[in-house]
Structure 1
């Protein structure tokens, strides 16, 4: 699971950096903003080797503060780290309960904390989807295209089956909900952006004709189409 979150971070303006923690508790990946990224937030991606509800609770109670302190004094991070670091805990869905997730995410000390749960089926299907579609990046544009694929039908299908659907789509949605740098762009907004691009490409006279054609609220009957087009063209010339 860390691998997928790492790809998303690498694709959206973050780079992995050295992590000064010597421990055998978990797989860890620390990300900082790239130079061209104006964000200041760091991300620590964590997957515990022991996947259990008790291990998740012990991790919060006995390790997060120590890790936080060690990273701050390591010299590997800037001073903005202390107030701008989010810990992403990746944990198997059937090995942690809702109460523990809330306890971790609502804990106000050291890191901000988000928990991304997953199933093996979701993980396998997501990796298959990446391989099948030859995705080398999971940037915001690619993620939005996946969410909006099939003309939005994939989202509607998930909306109707979200309790039982366990595949690449459900895992992607769960992940981006916990990653604050990803913004969802609905298809309607994408269409609006396309319309803006069209309008910017037109000359003033072409734009006037275009607006007259698209904003005309009168009904267009077959026997009056020629007359209306000539009227619009003439009014804009």
Structure 2
């Protein structure tokens, strides 16, 4: 199942999202990481969530070549639990983060967009980003203007899922996905070390028609 595709031609200073005569499927994008719970209370939440997540509950730091990988997994569990409860996550973000949006449509069309420098505080509320609709087929219901501004709210999106599955995308536990297997959409998280903890530097939202 191809889950990790990314919008083509993305770059911090130049993605041609404006004139779209032809759509190009997003390419695979795989980069992210994690950290330990910020408080004792959150550590308890992670332990509670682990009880319902056998894949995490059965792990211990000794199961990893780098014990820090366990801390990263615990961090991602904390992040997802906060999202599930609708709690703030801004303190787990980099001061600014890169946001990428890619939605695949049944008609061989794509809605893609990105915002290279979103303030951390915006992650806890609805924020806007520029996007473009592109297509490669005659069955698409093409909007009058393919260039648009769309809203996104991470917590509202994830909290509506029936469940949140966490998956490490790479062997180094630097890329994680959050998904509900019954849905078409999922989230990719990129994290990096920051002092003695970690921070999320990029969030990708994907909707894949299948």
Length-normalised TM-score, structure 2? 0.25
Higher gyration radius (CA): 1
Higher RCO (CA-CA < 8 Å; seq separation 6+): 2
Length-normalised TM-score, structure 1? 0.23
When you count strand as a share of all residues, which structure comes out higher? 2
When you count helix as a share of all residues, which structure comes out higher? 1
